[in-house]
Amino acid sequence: MPDWVHVWFWLRFLRFEQVMTSLPQQGVNPTAMSMDQYLVFEDEWESAGAPQTTAKQVLAVMGAAVKETDDIPF
């Protein structure tokens, strides 16, 4: 998983003061933060210990059904 996904999760769900602005990596969006702004937040994320997220956590916050098992579903 690329670092920007961990930064996105941290900004939205773990940071004391949440940031809801889209990241530049999330596609063409005129309201997205600039790359310079993103780099400031990335540095802040690294200073916070660079917390990692899992695919399961990302899917859960996006509303996907997440199984409680790691078994292969087929």
What string of H, E and C letters represents the secondary structure of 3-57?
Answer: HHHHHHHHHHHHCCCCCCCCCHHHCCCCCCCCHHHHHHHHHHHHHCCCCCCCHHH
- pLDDT on residue 73: 55
* 37 within 8 A of 56, measured Cβ to Cβ: no
- pLDDT on residue 62: 85
For 25, residues 6+ apart whose C-beta sits below 8 A from its C-beta are 2, 4, 38
- pLDDT on residue 71: 66
- pLDDT on residue 74: 47
Per-residue pLDDT of the chain (74 residues; tens, 9 = 90+): 999 999 999 999 999 999 999 999 998 899 999 999 999 999 999 999 999 999 889 888 888 876 666 666 54
Return d(Cα 69, Cα 67) in angstroms, integer.
Answer: 5
